Amino acid sequence: MITAKARAVDGPDKPFRAAEIKRRDLDSQDILIEIKFAGICHSDIHTAHGEWGPVNYPLVPGHEIAGIVTAVGPYVTKYKVGDRVGVGCMVDSCGECENCRKGEEQYCLKGNVPTYAGVDKYGEPTQGGYSTHIVVTEDFVVRIPDSIELDAAAPLLCAGITTYSPLNHWGAGPGKKVAVVGMGGLGHMAVQIAHAMGAEVTVLSQTLSKKEDGLQLGADHYYATSDPETFEKLAGRFDLMINTVSASINMDAYFSLLTLDGTLVNVGAPGEPLSLNVMSLIGHRRSFAGSMIGGIRETQEMLDFCAQHSIVPKIEVISADQIDEAYKRVLASDVKYRFVIDISTM
């Protein structure tokens, strides 16, 4: 067994503490990764606070992982010691169901194995990237292009693929008008990616406080949703809307902004159910959809796309002792736009 230093939380209202966790010995196709940086995702906060259901504490969150391969199992063929690699939101799946065979492991019919707060095929609880090392089967590891620094790469493993996947699936590109709801960790990635795909991009944010950033990142237009006139001006405009907000919003108001056959895709995951009037959809054959992360193949595609177009998240690097403070700041929307933990501070 491999001992890793970590930061763990013991309950919904508990602070993070220093901990040691055990990582399994390498199986034949496993690789050992020395984690250099781990991003903080809103999902980490939801899970640590027990907002998405029961949690088996103590918990080590973190599914935006960037590091270096330090050892490989005897049958590993994809990676070698010294490679720059990443791990995202899942570390295994059944590999046999229809969805897995299509390269959509995130939708494994038997349930993928999440990077943390899950149970692996050995019956052990999974623990995430707020730690110095992790062992993962090679099929759930991706290669980080040399042009992307490891600290900036970490948030791409969740925020990047969470926004790339629906933009890719619903065909954002030239001639498409795309709206991004929310200008946070997910939203600022969606803006960059949609712009690079060639779409006309509009940000819909509560206020105009981040307008300058949004325009610099590639948005063509920026509107405040706190202004009722916004919904009148933009009625029926968008082909695709990516809602990155993890809070309850007036869905019917946003549906009114979709054109005929337009689609609103939720990637933010509020802790409470959303309500809607189905007539908001029926009237213009609109669609309401959801999207998770992408599969491993699409995640690698996203990383290569970001490298090609020089897309990186805006980050604030913190030490391991600042995680509790960072969580509070995320909840207060006081970050531009993603916290990344320097694991060397463990």
Which tens digits make up the pLDDT trace of 10-59? 999 899 999 999 999 999 999 999 999 999 999 999 999 998 889 999 99
Instruction: Give the count of beta carbons closer than 10 Å to the beta carbon of residue 146.
Output: 8
- Asked if pLDDT for residue 342 goes beyond 90, the answer is yes
What stretch(es) of the chain map to CATH 3.90.180.10?
2-157+313-345
Return the residue matching tokens 């690097």: 317
Per this entry, what is the length of the chain? 346
Cα separation, 53 vs 327, whole angstroms: 19
What stretch(es) of the chain map to CATH 3.40.50.720?
160-290
Q: What is the pTM of this model?
A: 0.95
Do residues 291 and 267 lie in contact, with contact meaning Cβ atoms separated by under 8 Å?
yes
Reported as a pLDDT band with limits 50, 70 and 90, residue 272 is: confident
For domain 160-290, the CATH architecture is 3-Layer(aba) Sandwich (3.40)
Cα separation, 26 vs 279, whole angstroms: 54
193: left (phi over 0), alpha (psi -120 to 50) or beta: alpha
Query: Which secondary structure element, helix H or strand E, spans residue 215, and what is its range?
Result: helix 211-217
2-157+313-345 carries CATH number 3.40.50.10490: no
Do residues 233 and 222 lie in contact, with contact meaning Cβ atoms separated by under 8 Å?
no
25: left (phi over 0), alpha (psi -120 to 50) or beta: beta
The pLDDT tens digits for 138-195 are 999 999 999 999 999 999 999 999 999 999 999 999 999 999 999 999 999 999 999 9
